[in-house]
Amino acid sequence: MIRLVLGGEKSGKSDLAYGLFLHAPGAGMVMAMGQARDASFRRQILEHRLRRDPSVPLVEPGTDLAGALARAHASGSNVLVDSLDFWAFQTLSDSGLPADRLLQSLAAFEAPESPECILVSCEVGLGPIAPSSLARRFARELGALNQRLAALASDVRLVVAGLPIRLK
C-alpha cells in the first residue's frame, strides 16, 4: 500500500506519517531525504531523530531514492520517506525530475501483501507565486509529482495546522 501525506512547512505532516508508519504491520525503515546545510536545519533534523524510535533503521538514500525503495521492497520492509521535496530539490535538472523511475519503484508497493510505503511531501500549491523562475519551476515540478503520487496512492492525506484531512 502507498500512502501520501501532504502539508505545508511545519504543518505536522511528518508526525502524522510517522504515526501511520508505526501502525503498519511488520518491520520498517525510515528514509530521510533532508541534508543539513545550516545550523537551523541541523536542529530540525535532530528534533525529528529524537522523536523516532532509535531501533528503527534510518537510511539516507540521497538521489537514489528509486533504488533504495526497490531494495526495501525486496527485503519486505515498510518504508517512511520524509520528505520528497528534498529529493526533488536534489534531483531537479534541466529535463525536470526523474519521476518516472521513482514511480516505477513505487509500483511494487501497490501489490497485495506488499509492505507499506508512506511518502511525505510539501504541498506547494497553497503558497504565493514564487518570485524567481527557479522557485516557480521547482513548485511546478513538485506539484506535478504530488499529483502523480496522489493518483497512485491508496491513501492521501493533507495536514493543515496539525489537523489531518483524508483526501482519498
Residues recognised as catalytic: 48
Shortest CA distance to 158 belongs to which of 28, 3, 42? 3
Q: Could you give the CA distance from residue 117 to residue 94 in angstroms, rounded to a whole number?
A: 28
Say if residues 78 and 57 touch (Cβ distance below 8 Å). Answer: no
Grid coordinates in use for 71?
Answer: 531494495
C-alpha neighbours within 13 Å on the C-beta side of residue 55? 2
* CA 2 to chain centroid: 11
Cα 104-165-81 angle, rounded to 5 deg: 35
